[in-house]
């Protein structure tokens, strides 16, 4: 019963390697299980990879791969998306099912949340139906213990006929034991214990299985599993079998109709109930529940979903995240900027008399300077706090509280998670829209994200308005932006036909966030931005310098004159800035600095112009990387429509703001 600690493994064996070890074997193990049980945590610890971990269901939307070398064996680990069942209603379920059934990994490591054992075993039973070599990892055994749940490992193992390992993945405990057991399973290929459901149901399964085996269909899947899927009315499997033979389907219909008639219940419902009955009796036999008093996490949970405090919490989380980014970013940015200026100051005024190399170097350094002072101070604090909030489980509570508000823009509460991510960077945020159930909802969420002020836009807002007009104006624009997200969300909801699906979301337990995981995650997210953004910054900035010095930009500015100057009331060179901003929004500030030859933007803009410029910059188009992501996820036509909607909104809002501000200021 005691928790197993992972025994020491030769550290050399633990490291990620690409080089092959001479003796030993190659294995492929798949991590499978419900959403939010800690598969990604285990995957990262094993492979050193950087899967994003958060305490909300659905991070792993595509499968991830990594390798490790363990006791002389080279092991490929596949992290499958978290699913509750093998029905074919979502892409994730099909991806996982086909991977396990068709590519036949050497072992499947089924990670389950020990504190929600019964629900998790429902999925384990489906894996057993598929007759795969299995190791059962009871993760979060510490959480289960704190809930007074004592699990008898040996009994559970005997009942299910699989090896059971206890683990607390966040502390690295039990992970390598799981791998060791998986290696054993892969080597010995023990036969799966055939678990039996109720006698009535087993009779039907036998009948149909007999028919299938007689027909000799040569299916890739085990026949018992195919039988159960056929009885459940699984569309994919029925189609697969129907292609080979119609007689099986006809006979199946007879069996199932008669059975359903006698039971007065549909087969898929009977089978789900039977699986749960088995899961329930297994848990009852192997788990001892002790009385425990209300824990501190229950109290936090009560507070975070209280009818008054819940909204305060939601507002505090969202608002706090933004304010924190704003003020910490502001302070850090100033400090870094001062530090850099002692090394080398960007020469503001350059003329064609300077050497081309000098011009390029100046732009180069300007790019590095801008990257360090603009990205690092804003992005890192944002992602750090977000990682802590994610890991704690607070985000699901915020989603719970905001569900009815999100319904007004055609989404449900879960959509709040990608939108909040969008405050950091649109690219991962648009990817994470996959947690939504239908294409319509993914689209609506992604559309809302294109308006969300990502860190780049925050930088523009801060650098233009916060610094030169006043911090209160910058905050006001933030609020205006929120209102625009809401209004455009509603417009989009009306424009895209369809019904909003209801929220079905597991409320994961609260836990104390792990600093280690948060830091790791912050680094993962920041790293990808640095790799993508820094080069664009440096090259972009050098390019702007050259373009400016050789006066190539004027014709572009002239072409955009009617929009920028006449309608938006901006200086003529704003046209160029907006073009640059399509690459990265921060380039707008960079460009302005280069064009004006000084970091004091007030020399080229009035306060009103800065406000309008920042507002337009926030709204007018997603940057190139975000557009590429949209195109990849939804098709180029949709990405174009979204971009045009962005431009239209920016022009309307920007123009109106210009007129309005002129009236009052």
Partner 1 sequence: MYLKKLVLAVQKSAQDYLKTVYNLSKNGEAVNNTDIAQKLNVTPASVTEMLKKLADEKYIKYSPYHGSTLTEKGLKEAQKITRKHRLLESFLSNVLRIGNDKVHQEACQMEHALSDEAEESLCRLLKHPDTCPDDGKTIPACDLPFSNCEECIQLHQKGLEQVGKRDKNLISIRELKSGSSGNISFIRGEHKVLQRLLDMGLTPGTKIQIIKIAPIDGPVEVAVRGSKIALGQDIACNVFIEIDDKKKQG
User: Is residue 567 classed exposed, middle or buried when 0-12, 13-18 and 19+ CB atoms within 10 A define those classes?
Assistant: middle
For residue 285, CA distances in Å to 130, 153, 154 come to 24, 11, 11
Query: Residue 69 forms beta bridges with which residues?
Result: 74
Nearest to 346 by CA among 544, 627, 158: 544
Copy the structure tokens of residue 20.
Answer: 């092959």
3-state secondary structure 19-39: CCCCCCCEEEEEEECCCCCCH
Task: State in angstroms the smallest separation of the CB of 214 from partner 1.
Answer: 28
Task: State in angstroms the smallest separation of the CB of 84 from partner 1.
Answer: 5
* C-beta neighbour count of 544 within 10 angstroms: 23
Task: State in angstroms the smallest separation of the CB of 218 from partner 1.
Answer: 29
CA–CA gap between residue 352 and residue 122 (Å, rounded):
72
Q: Kindly tell me which of 67 and 139 has the beta carbon lying closer to partner 1.
A: 139
Task: State in angstroms the smallest separation of the CB of 601 from partner 1.
Answer: 43
* Residues at the contact surface with partner 1, assessed by CB under 8 A: 84-85, 87, 89, 115-119, 122, 260, 264-266, 268-269, 272-273, 276, 280, 305, 307, 310, 396, 399-401, 403-405, 407, 412-413, 500-507
Q: Kindly tell me which of 81 and 591 has the beta carbon lying closer to partner 1.
A: 81
258 CB contacts (<8 Å, ≥6 apart)?
Answer: none
Q: Kindly tell me which of 276 and 486 has the beta carbon lying closer to partner 1.
A: 276
Scanning the structure block, which residue is given the tokens 């997210």?
Answer: 525
CA–CA gap between residue 110 and residue 93 (Å, rounded):
15
Task: State in angstroms the smallest separation of the CB of 208 from partner 1.
Answer: 19
> What SS3 state is found at 50?
coil
Task: State in angstroms the smallest separation of the CB of 203 from partner 1.
Answer: 20
For residue 642, CA distances in Å to 53, 97, 445, 536 come to 29, 34, 12, 24
Copy the structure tokens of residue 162.
Answer: 């699989």
Task: State in angstroms the smallest separation of the CB of 16 from partner 1.
Answer: 34
CA–CA gap between residue 485 and residue 522 (Å, rounded):
26
Q: Backbone phi, then psi, for 308, in 5-degree steps?
A: -110, -55
Q: Kindly tell me which of 154 and 257 has the beta carbon lying closer to partner 1.
A: 257
Q: Kindly tell me which of 89 and 327 has the beta carbon lying closer to partner 1.
A: 89
Q: Kindly tell me which of 119 and 511 has the beta carbon lying closer to partner 1.
A: 119
Task: State in angstroms the smallest separation of the CB of 120 from partner 1.
Answer: 9
Do β-strands 134-139 and 107-113 pair in parallel, antiparallel, or remain unpaired? parallel
Cα angle 66, 75, 92; round to 5: 50
Q: Kindly tell me which of 507 and 652 has the beta carbon lying closer to partner 1.
A: 507
Task: State in angstroms the smallest separation of the CB of 117 from partner 1.
Answer: 7
Nearest to 592 by CA among 424, 476, 467: 467
Contact 61, 95 (CB under 8 A): no
* C-beta neighbour count of 521 within 10 angstroms: 24
Q: Kindly tell me which of 71 and 298 has the beta carbon lying closer to partner 1.
A: 298
Contact 488, 451 (CB under 8 A): yes
Task: State in angstroms the smallest separation of the CB of 458 from partner 1.
Answer: 30
Q: Kindly tell me which of 159 and 411 has the beta carbon lying closer to partner 1.
A: 411
User: Is residue 621 classed exposed, middle or buried when 0-12, 13-18 and 19+ CB atoms within 10 A define those classes?
Assistant: buried
CA–CA gap between residue 422 and residue 445 (Å, rounded):
10
> What SS3 state is found at 288?
strand
Task: State in angstroms the smallest separation of the CB of 407 from partner 1.
Answer: 8
Task: State in angstroms the smallest separation of the CB of 36 from partner 1.
Answer: 11
Task: State in angstroms the smallest separation of the CB of 399 from partner 1.
Answer: 8
524 CB contacts (<8 Å, ≥6 apart)?
Answer: 50, 52
Q: Kindly tell me which of 125 and 546 has the beta carbon lying closer to partner 1.
A: 125
Nearest to 413 by CA among 436, 393, 390, 381: 436
Q: Kindly tell me which of 85 and 187 has the beta carbon lying closer to partner 1.
A: 85
Q: Kindly tell me which of 197 and 364 has the beta carbon lying closer to partner 1.
A: 197
Q: Kindly tell me which of 173 and 403 has the beta carbon lying closer to partner 1.
A: 403
- Please report the DSSP string for 304-361 in residue order: HTSTTHHHHHHHHHHHHHHHHHHHHHHHHHHHHHHHHHHH-PPPS---TTS-HHHHHH
Task: State in angstroms the smallest separation of the CB of 91 from partner 1.
Answer: 14
CA–CA gap between residue 527 and residue 571 (Å, rounded):
36
Q: Kindly tell me which of 106 and 301 has the beta carbon lying closer to partner 1.
A: 301
CA–CA gap between residue 526 and residue 209 (Å, rounded):
53
Nearest to 117 by CA among 76, 86, 147, 91: 147
Query: Residue 289 forms beta bridges with which residues?
Result: 149
User: Is residue 501 classed exposed, middle or buried when 0-12, 13-18 and 19+ CB atoms within 10 A define those classes?
Assistant: middle
Task: State in angstroms the smallest separation of the CB of 272 from partner 1.
Answer: 4
Q: Kindly tell me which of 112 and 420 has the beta carbon lying closer to partner 1.
A: 112
Task: State in angstroms the smallest separation of the CB of 54 from partner 1.
Answer: 17
Q: Kindly tell me which of 117 and 185 has the beta carbon lying closer to partner 1.
A: 117
């Amino acid at each position: 019963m005691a928790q197993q600690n992972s025994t020491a493994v030769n550290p050399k064996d633990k490291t990620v390697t690409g080089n092959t070890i001479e003796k030993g074997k190659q294995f492929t193990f798949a991590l499978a299980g419900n959403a939010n049980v800690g598969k990604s945590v285990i995957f990262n610890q094993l492979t050193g990879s950087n899967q994003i971990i958060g305490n909300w269901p659905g991070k792993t939307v595509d499968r991830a791969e990594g390798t490790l070398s363990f006791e002389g064996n080279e092991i490929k680990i596949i992290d499958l998306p978290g699913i509750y069942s093998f029905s074919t209603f979502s892409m994730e379920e099909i991806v996982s099912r086909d991977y396990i059934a068709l590519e036949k990994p050497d072992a499947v490591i089924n990670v389950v949340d020990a504190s929600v054992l019964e629900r998790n075993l429902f999925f384990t039973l489906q894996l057993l139906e598929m007759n795969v070599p299995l190791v059962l990892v009871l993760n979060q055994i510490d959480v289960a213990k704190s809930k007074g749940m004592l699990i008898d490992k040996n009994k559970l193992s005997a009942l299910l006929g699989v090896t059971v390992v206890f683990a607390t993945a966040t502390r690295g405990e039990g992970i390598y034991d799981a791998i060791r057991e998986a290696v054993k399973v892969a080597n010995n290929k023990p036969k799966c214990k055939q678990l039996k459901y109720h006698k009535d149901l087993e009779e039907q399964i036998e009948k149909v299985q007999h028919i299938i085996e007689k027909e000799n269909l040569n299916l890739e899947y085990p026949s018992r599993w195919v039988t159960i899927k056929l009885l459940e009315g699984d569309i994919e499997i029925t189609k697969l079998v129907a292609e080979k033979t119609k007689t099986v389907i006809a006979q199946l219909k007879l069996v199932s109709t008669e059975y359903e008639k006698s039971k007065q219940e549909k087969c898929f419902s009977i089978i789900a109930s039977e699986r749960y009955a088995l899961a329930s009796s297994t848990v009852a036999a192997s788990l001892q529940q002790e009385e425990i008093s209300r824990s501190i996490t229950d109290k936090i949970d009560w507070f975070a979903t209280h009818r008054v405090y819940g909204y305060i919490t939601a507002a505090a989380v969202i608002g706090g995240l933004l304010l924190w980014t704003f003020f910490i970013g502001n302070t850090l940015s100033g400090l870094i900027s001062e530090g850099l200026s002692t090394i080398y100051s960007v020469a503001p005024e350059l003329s064609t008399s300077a050497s081309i190399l000098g011009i390029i170097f100046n732009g180069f350094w300007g790019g590095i300077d801008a990257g360090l002072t603009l990205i690092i101070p804003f992005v890192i604090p944002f992602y750090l706090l977000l990682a802590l909030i994610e890991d704690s489980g607070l985000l699901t509570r915020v989603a719970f509280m905001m569900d009815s508000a999100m319904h007004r823009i055609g989404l449900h509460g879960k959509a709040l998670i990608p939108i909040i991510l969008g405050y950091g960077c649109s690219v991962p945020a648009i990817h994470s829209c996959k947690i939504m159930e239908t294409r319509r909802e993914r689209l609506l969420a992604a559309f809302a994200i294109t308006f969300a002020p990502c860190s780049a836009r925050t930088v523009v807002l801060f650098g233009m308005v916060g610094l030169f007009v006043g911090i209160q104006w910058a905050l006001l624009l933030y609020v205006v932006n929120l209102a625009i997200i809401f209004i455009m969300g509603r417009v989009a909801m009306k424009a895209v036909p369809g019904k909003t699906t209801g929220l079905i979301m597991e409320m994961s337990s609260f836990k104390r966030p792990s600093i280690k995981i948060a830091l790791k995650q912050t680094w993962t997210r920041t790293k990808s931005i640095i790799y993508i953004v820094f080069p664009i910054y440096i090259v972009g900035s050098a390019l702007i310098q050259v373009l400016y010095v050789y006066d190539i930009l004027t014709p572009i500015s002239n072409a955009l004159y009617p929009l920028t100057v006449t309608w938006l009331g901006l200086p003529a060179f704003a046209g160029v800035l907006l073009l640059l901003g399509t690459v990265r929004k921060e380039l707008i500030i960079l460009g302005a600095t280069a064009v004006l030859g000084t970091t004091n933007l007030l020399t080229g803009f009035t306060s009103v112009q800065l406000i309008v410029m920042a507002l337009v910059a926030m709204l007018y188009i997603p940057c190139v990387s975000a557009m590429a992501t949209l195109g990849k996820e939804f098709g180029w036509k949709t990405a174009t429509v979204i971009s045009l909607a962005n431009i239209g909104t920016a022009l309307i809002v920007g123009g109106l703001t210009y007129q309005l501000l002129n009236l009052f200021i």
